[in-house]
Each structure stands twice: as structure tokens, then as C-alpha cells.
């Protein structure tokens, strides 16, 4: 018991704290420290990797819905989808809401993550049981070696650029992503917070453009248990901008969503002037 504080050199000088009611899991996997605890406040069950919050019951939908549906609704007919990271199954569950989807492959380096999700986050991990879903345990960078032209949408749901996710933030990884997309495909990747990582966001935007993506865009969402209360996504592809959906959710799908809507899709691309200027440099 006590308080969990999210201390990291990746966000120096600040730390969000959550009061712990009960520790449910605290072990080290082959790659990282894995912690699951019950919060005394409104956040429910909380999941952290190497001391950084990944999922809480209360706000997970903000991240999972927006990360999945922005690229999915930016594509006219997504059939084959790859998720790198995302071992909790939250993004996969959102992707599977699209009836056009024929296959979703999830590649996560750490087998403990889906195991933890099955134990403590059944509403997320139930996506693994869908017959269209395949889970592969392995390194995402290596997985892409021989996947040229295979995917309509790729979603890189990684942790921060240190530890096991470090290879997923480099230029060579994005080159492999681009080669793995079908014509007109989209790739979305976790893009940190513009309040504290603007230099990283600028450098990643530049090399994404340099490797040949016609459109490199940055979207921003709110999620209160992440550092600074927000996080961004890079959305890259060829052809039309992703800043507005090309399809809209059916009434049935929209009724089951808590954060994503066509209006929220468009709004996420409206950036503060200081961020917009920095990304245009």
C-alpha cells in the first residue's frame, strides 16, 4: 500500500502519483518490470511497465479508441491490420469492430503482457478470442523483415522509447513499416507528449518525411493518467490526409464508443500554434 509515483528520466522533474489500495501483481518479465495494482480512487485496476502507467480501467478507452479508429476510419476498406505492441489487447478490440477486417495480427515482445491482461483486464483481452485475431510473441522490428506490401493499417502501440520499445522509434523501423504497407495504407505510432517531448516529435516528423511518406501528420488526445495528461500519435501514409475520416461509424458502433467520433477525429489534428510551427520547421 501507499502511493505509486511515476518517476522517469523521460519526464524529468515531475511525477504523477496514484494511491495504491492493493498490489495485484509485481514481477519482472524477461524484458521489464510489470506491476498491476488497485487504485483507491476512481482509476480502478492500473497496469504499469517499468514504472510507467499503460492502462487504467477508467481512461483506457481514450487511448485505445483513438489510436485504433483514427487510422481505421482514414482508410476506405481496411482488411489486413498489424499491431506492434499493444499486448493488453485494447487496440485490437477496437480494430475488430470494423466489419471489413479479415485479419489482425498482434506482435508483442513480452509474453507476460497478454497473460496479465487475461488475468486483470478481461474486457480488453477478450479480443484475443476473435477468430480473425492472431497473437505473435516476438520483436516487432524483426517481425517486419519479410512483410512487404501486406497491411492496410499498421498500429504501433509501444511503450516509451527506452527499454524493449527503443527500436520502434528509429528511422530503420519506419522504413520497414512503409515497405510493409499496401498501396494507400496507413501507419500510426505512439507519439509522446508535445509538452515535454517536442524535440523528439520534431526529429521523428523529419525522418518520417525523409523516408518518403507523402503525408506525415500528428494528432493529440487527452488521457489523464499519462504524463502531462495528453499523448500524441504520428499518422503516416501516402495519398489523402488522415485528418478527417473517409468513413463514419454505424449507429451501432458509435453507440459503443466513449471517446472516438468523427468530430473527435478531426479535433485531434487541431494543434496549438507553438506545436504547429515547430513541426513545420
The residues assigned a catalytic role are 157
Q: Which 8-state DSSP code applies to residue 194?
A: T
Sign of CA dihedral 127, 36, 56, 243: negative
- Report the b/e string of 46-83 with b at 16+ CB within 10 A: bbbbbebbbbbbbbbbbbbbbbbbbbbbbbeebebbbb
User: Which of helix, strand or coil describes residue 258?
Assistant: coil
In contact, 187 and 178? CB cutoff 8 Å: yes
- Cell for 126? 477478450
List, edge to edge, every strand of the sheet that includes 52-56.
2-5, 17-28, 33-39, 45-49, 52-56
Alpha-carbon distance of 281 to 276, in angstroms, equals 9
Alpha-carbon distance of 276 to 123, in angstroms, equals 36
- Cell for 173? 523501423
Spatial CA neighbour of 158 closest among 149, 166, 150: 166
Strand 17-28 to 80-85 pairing: unpaired
| Residue 258 CB burial class (10 angstroms; 0-12, 13-18, ≥19) | exposed
User: Which of helix, strand or coil describes residue 88?
Assistant: coil
Amino acid at each position: 500500500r501507499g502511493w505509486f509515483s511515476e518517476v522517469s528520466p523521460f519526464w524529468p522533474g515531475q511525477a504523477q502519483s496514484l494511491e495504491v489500495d492493493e498490489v495485484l501483481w509485481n514481477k519482472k518479465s524477461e524484458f521489464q518490470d510489470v506491476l498491476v495494482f488497485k487504485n483507491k480512487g476512481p482509476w480502478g485496476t492500473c497496469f504499469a511497465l517499468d514504472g510507467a502507467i499503460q492502462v487504467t480501467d477508467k481512461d483506457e478507452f481514450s487511448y485505445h479508441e483513438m489510436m485504433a479508429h483514427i487510422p481505421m476510419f482514414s482508410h476506405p476498406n481496411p482488411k489486413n491490420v498489424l499491431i506492434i505492441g499493444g499486448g493488453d489487447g485494447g487496440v485490437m478490440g477496437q480494430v475488430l469492430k470494423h466489419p471489413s477486417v479479415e485479419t489482425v495480427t498482434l506482435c508483442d515482445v513480452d509474453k507476460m503482457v497478454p497473460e496479465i491482461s487475461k488475468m486483470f483486464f478481461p474486457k480488453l483481452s477478450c479480443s484475443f478470442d476473435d477468430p480473425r485475431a492472431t497473437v505473435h510473441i516476438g520483436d516487432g522490428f524483426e517481425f517486419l523483415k519479410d512483410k512487404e506490401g501486406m497491411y492496410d493499417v499498421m498500429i504501433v502501440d509501444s511503450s516509451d522509447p527506452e527499454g524493449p520499445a527503443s527500436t520502434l522509434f528509429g528511422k530503420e523501423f519506419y522504413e520497414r513499416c512503409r515497405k510493409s504497407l499496401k498501396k494507400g495504407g496507413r501507419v500510426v505510432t505512439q507519439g509522446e507528449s508535445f509538452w515535454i517531448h517536442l524535440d523528439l516529435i520534431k526529429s521523428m516528423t523529419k525522418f518520417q518525411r525523409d523516408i518518403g511518406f507523402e503525408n506525415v501528420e500528428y494528432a493529440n488526445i487527452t488521457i489523464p493518467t499519462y504524463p502531462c495528461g495528453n499523448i500524441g500519435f504520428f499518422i503516416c501514409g501516402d495519398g489523402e490526409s488522415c485528418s478527417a475520416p473517409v468513413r463514419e461509424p454505424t449507429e451501432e458502433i458509435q453507440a459503443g464508443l466513449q471517446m472516438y467520433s468523427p468530430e473527435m477525429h478531426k479535433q485531434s489534428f487541431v494543434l496549438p500554434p507553438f506545436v504547429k510551427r515547430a513541426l513545420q520547421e
